[in-house]
Chain A
């Protein structure tokens, strides 16, 4: 087999390329500022327009949970299939599950904003005929009990998987059920009368695409700082193919949900879709398609592009923005109840909070995992 390979990290410092530890030091201050600013802006938003602030907190919590789950899911499918091709290049997915407890705490904070966000949590819910039968499942105590159970399961199975490498098959089973529940509970119940059975798979496609984008970025950063031996183009190509494939998968699931609702045109289902298709949300609806499918498809179609790190980084950035917009379009229209879209203090606060918390939770685990003293298998 291949000879052991020690990463020449100190040599690279002389050439002016920062080490990972130096990058971490630089980012740490920024992360604190981001988290502080994010909290400040969200609190400010509470006074300006509370429903938007709560909605952005939900978006932040859900997306952070999705990042953690994306890492865990990648880890589990590689563990289940016994894949080793990705070990040297994919590092971030072991660190991403560290976000789950943070996301859980944020999710529990929504207790105080539930009645602003969810129609079924309002005092008049019992008097609404359409909600009446659903209140046995959708009520605040039971809802947050489910939040606690779901996050406990994720954190527990995630810890076993990421730290001890055990229970990958069990995780996939638990994940399938709990992630479906989470999507139905936290996002779809924003509009309790609307329903779509494919909703959770749609959420999964976006979540997994985002997970691949994050590990791709981390692989490229690690290579830039010299922590991954100069690997062949084939590994870049693999990452590019994964991104391309799952961007198409997202579009496929998107259409599967959209086409049936559009074609059947049942008033109960069409309401939210109509809001997106006609009116002020329409440009964002199409932008969502462009960011998550159109641009990545065009950018990554060529083989050369799939091996080019600049193109890969650009595509991943576009996909992360697209993921935010995708969630924004799922959460905001029902919360604003037909209001027009906007980007203000709470949106900015939510994004800053995601970036800051993402760094603070994941970086220490990431650093431990990509320990420079570790011996990596030599690439071809």
Chain B
């Protein structure tokens, strides 16, 4: 903007050797009705804000706004990603696990508050690349304390200059060039655009490398994620050259108890013990619908492969592989066994072919399975209806 002659003549500067003198001069100038434009000092001078009559900065509000924004983004994104978009329970914690979100929320709050307040400061101070900062006196970055002011109405400059030197000014003069108020437009300078391009370079590089490395989104090609989809860890059911038994999956160490382990059973394997169990162990579960349903699930999942879905030895292993048929569950022999004895066989294994399932099935499940077997036996004993339906 062109500076008119009258404007030039109304602005002046005065320089001091001590910050206290500058502070006094600023107070004096404002009291005398001059307008203090700015002060230039090598370091911040305490009390200058009040002396210049500056309003409290509004930057803290911007800081708070950015902090709240950061908090909202952090909490929102974490809730969305871990509870809505891809709910994945980690370590038995709730999906929205607030304590786990706090570190990220804290970091993002501080990051956005910090970056945001600096950006706001640049915006409100009109600071940008190639902005011309008036340099009133080279000493203002070294050992001089400068004030720039505009003369009040009807006060000639020599009067003010005298006052200033009485307050300790080493020199004071009118500002005759337009340096104080010159602003340059960012876009008219090629260098300004260049700066912007350089600033954007990291983003270009990032986007470019992603596109280069991951060209085809339909199929796997060059990957920058280190192949996390193809782990080198051994799979549970693979064979292994180093582990015991040639298998990856190892049996639990001896003495391992399940988390829901019930107290040890006071019975050993063998026929005599099985008979004792038949005398001493009643079924702790009543034949309710819920227990029956659970027994059915367990039976069809575990027992039916041999014993058959109806207890008729029609299991897939027997039919397809021609394996040795087990004792017919619906036969009178089994029907007459007490629950405790069947439980013993289910736990430790039977006299002929059956393996013990004590390690595989929980004690409750073994009892419930017996409830279901009893129902199968009842169904088999019922005469087949005339229609020929099984």
Asked if B56 and A259 make an inter-chain contact with CB atoms under 8 angstroms apart, the answer reads no
Assuming A263-B91, A265-B91, A380-B46, is B60 touching A303 (CB within 8 A)?
yes
Q: Name the CB-closest residue of B to A252.
A: B106
Residues of B within 8 A of A302 (CB): 60
Q: Which residues of A contact B (CB under 8 A)?
A: 232, 234, 255, 258-259, 262-263, 265, 301-303, 380
Contacts of B103 in A (CB 8 A): 255, 259
Q: Are B47 and A303 in contact (CB under 8 A)?
A: no
The 23 listed contacts between A and B (C-beta, < 8 Å) are A232-B47, A234-B46, A255-B99, A255-B102, A255-B103, A258-B99, A259-B99, A259-B100, A259-B102, A259-B103, A262-B99, A263-B91, A263-B93, A263-B99, A263-B100, A265-B91, A265-B92, A301-B64, A302-B60, A303-B56, A303-B60, A380-B46, A380-B47
C-alpha spacing A255/B102, complex, angstroms: 9
Which residues of the other chain, A, contact B47 by a CB distance below 8 angstroms? 232, 380
A234 to B47, CA, bound (A): 9
- CB-CB contacts of B47-60 with A at 8 A, as 1s and 0s? 10000000010001
**Contact residues in B for A265 (Cβ distance below 8 Å):** 91-92
- A contact residues around B102 at 8 Å (CB): 255, 259
A302–B61 Cα distance when bound, in Å, is 10
| Interface residues of B, Cβ cutoff 8 Å to A | 46-47, 56, 60, 64, 91-93, 99-100, 102-103
Interface contact tally, CB-CB below 8 A: 23
Q: Bound state CA distance, A380 and B24, in angstroms?
A: 13
- Taking CB atoms, residues of chain A closer than 8 Å to B46 are 234, 380
Which residues from B are CB-within-8-Å of A259? 99-100, 102-103
Alpha-carbon distance A302/B56, docked complex (angstroms): 12
Q: How far is the CA of A259 from the CA of B98 in the complex (A)?
A: 10
The 6 closest A-B pairs by CB, nearest first: A262-B99, A259-B99, A255-B102, A263-B100, A380-B47, A303-B60
* Residues of A contacting B64 in the complex (Cβ-Cβ under 8 angstroms): 301
Residues of B within 8 A of A234 (CB): 46
In Å, the complex CA distance between A265 and B102 comes to: 17
Bound complex: CA of A62 vs CA of B263, how far in Å? 46
Q: How far is the CA of A303 from the CA of B55 in the complex (A)?
A: 13
A258 CA / B91 CA spacing, docked (Å): 16
Complex Cα distance A234/B103, Å? 32
**Min CB distance, B45 to chain A, in Å?**
12
Q: How far is the CA of A259 from the CA of B46 in the complex (A)?
A: 42
How far does the alpha carbon of A265 sit from the alpha carbon of B99 in the complex, in Å?
Answer: 13
- For B92, list chain A residues within 8 Å (CB): 265
